[in-house]
Amino acid sequence: MLMNADTKARFQTLYLNKKNLVFRAAVYYTKDRAAAEDFMQAAFLKLFIHMEDMKDEQHAEYWLLRTVKNLAINHQKKYWREEFAEDIILTSDLHKYSISIEEEMLINQYNEIFIEFREKIFRELLDVNENWYQAITMLYCMEIPYDEVASELNVNTDALYSMVYRAKKWIKRTHGAQYLELKRH
């Protein structure tokens, strides 16, 4: 994410001037301080990515408030879908879906191992090639479209596809066996 000094300074100023406003808006929409902090951070991350597109401070403020509102609305929709699905599961054969404490502990332990494995892959990817790391992070973690990522990395789309292919190939070659071993257990 290459950004000139002027744009970086504009972003820092915007963050300092608007963080409380954006946080208050997020709390208003979510009624949850922890979620509001997450949405505020996500909104400023998106602003950081699109900072060069912002015309002025007023445009950026409106954009931040709209982004926080949309994040909160999408979160609420997801929450209600999950609640509805959970209600369906709870009302049907409860004994089919119940697990013991031991099974739950094993599942949690397994999830922690996968999280550590994922973090290890990203750390090593960053060490091997920073452009691969940025491309994979923007495409798959932040879900930014290919054309925007290519623009951000100053490469054409074909070069980005090639970069991602090489990164995936490296990940499979260096971590594929360990991944398959983890999936077996």
Enter the tokens of residue 151: 């623009």
Q: What is the pLDDT of residue 166?
A: 93
CATH 1.10.1740.10 spans which residues of the chain?
A: 1-98
Q: The tokens of 54 are what?
A: 């912002």
d(CA 149, CA 15): 23
Residue ranges of the chain with per-residue pLDDT less than 70: 1-3, 79-99, 185
- Name the pTM for this structure: 0.45
Q: pLDDT tens digits for 2-19?
A: 667 888 888 888 889 989
For domain 1-98, the question of CATH label 1.10.1740.10 is answered with yes
In whole angstroms, give the CA distance from residue 86 to residue 127: 41
**What CATH topology corresponds to 99-185?**
Arc Repressor Mutant, subunit A (1.10.10)
Contacts of 66 (CB under 8 A, 6+ apart): none
Question: Tokens at residue 20, please?
Answer: 């409380």
Reported as a single tens digit per residue, the pLDDT across 82-94 is: 555 555 555 555 4
Q: What is the pLDDT of residue 174?
A: 92
Report the candidate in 181, 39, 51, 30 with the shortest Cα–Cα distance to residue 117. 181
